[in-house]
Amino acid sequence: MNTGIIEVLAFGLVAIIAGFFLLVSMVRELAPNERRKWFLGIGLGTGIIAFSLKIGLIVVFSMFPGPMLALFPEREFDQFPVDDLFKGEALSTGKVAYTWQALPMTAPFPKDNPPSPEKIALGKKLFFDARLSADGSLSCASCHEISVEKGGSDGLPGSIGIHGQQGGRNAPTVLNAAFQQVLFWDGRAASLEEQAKGPLINPIEMGMPSLESVVETVNNIPEYRTAFSQVFTTEQPITIDNIAKAIAAYERTLITPDSPYDRFVKGDRSALSEKQIRGMALFESLGCIQCHSGPNFSGASLFGDNTPYRIFPAIPYTEFEIRHRLSEDLGAAVGTSDSDRGVWRIPSLRNVSRTAPYFHNGSVRTLEEAVRIMAHVQLDKRLSNDRVDDRSIRWSERDRQFNVVTDQAISDTEVEEIVAFLEALDGELPAQY
């Protein structure tokens, strides 16, 4: 029987019995006195009304599924095993749950650059064409290799440009870049079209002397003249804007929406292992989702409305900051403040297991180490396998209260579980035109 009904019936029965004995006492007391018989009528009438109200309340309360009173409190769960995820409804933890989202199957595009098969094919050709560099040695694909091994990056701490020059920053992946609202590590480009122009004239990347020289180079290639005239039906089809539009149209096809994680979120319970599910829960409970949120696991994506930047490292002067030289480059903070903390665009974690080395300077070789560093310098977690370190207890003299905070440490096992979950963000490479 519904717990709420039991509670109301119990209280109602007690009230009815008490009322009965009260009326009997009133009758015995008042019946000999003829002048007070009208009190007996009032008492009986009131009793009938009260009894009717009790019956009405029982009917009304029986319509609610949960207990209405605390007579028989239900058990509350703060934790539950992974297996319980698949046994009916998830149990409440009393916290506002984070909503996990799958990546869309197609990328959005600006109104002035709608895709077409011809434009995408043209953009792909430009993306892989080394003739767009000053010495004919590099293409966009040189630093953004479209392969399972490199995951849209190049696997180097700093990319190699013309004449063997090495850049100071790690090449971000081009995969799923279509979902980011700002591009480059410092977020200086607001669109793929704008981003595509930058490396062409960067002196230590593709090194073309000017954007006009890029247009001239493309215009001197007959096959491009034909292709551009078919895609851009304007009087002057080969412009730097149209070159960038074609490259961006191709890059918007480089998305990986069918990862094991996406299949799990869409209802395939077998898509993730128990270890990956534990890692997914840790990713949320430890606070990783504060920055790496949404379907593209980045606060800098088109899906969010928060700032796309974060201070990194947030916890200053740790051993990791010194060992990996994390503050030698301040990113977007240069020229904006006197702080010695770097400011960076939040990168996506899609395909992150394929894009080592990590961070803006490519100083970290393994994903396990990257997870430890982020937990320590961003989330202020201890690195410990001792359960005592996982909880902090503080006593407030003023309030005379304890403040107990859990999840204060991350263990080797938890690192492995988070890494296992991050590996579930690897998606199949898109079919190439």
Active site residues: 205
CA atoms within 13 A on the CB side of 390: 9
Enter the tokens of residue 78: 């703060």
The per-residue b/e assignment along 161-175, b for 16 or more CB within 10 angstroms, e otherwise, is bbeeeebebbbbbbb
Please provide residue 191's backbone torsions phi and psi, each rounded to the nearest 5 degrees.
-160, 165
Quickly tell me which residue has 């990347």 as its tokens: 205
The per-residue b/e assignment along 66-89, b for 16 or more CB within 10 angstroms, e otherwise, is ebbeeeeeeeeeeeeeeeeeeeee
CA dist 17 to 13, 26, 185, Å? 6, 14, 76
Residues 255 and 428 sit within 8 Å (Cβ to Cβ): no
Residues 151 and 173 sit within 8 Å (Cβ to Cβ): yes
CA dist 100 to 10, 84, 120, 265, 300, Å? 43, 18, 31, 7, 17
Nearest to 382 by CA among 417, 334, 335, 414: 414
Nearest to 385 by CA among 412, 416, 424, 421: 412
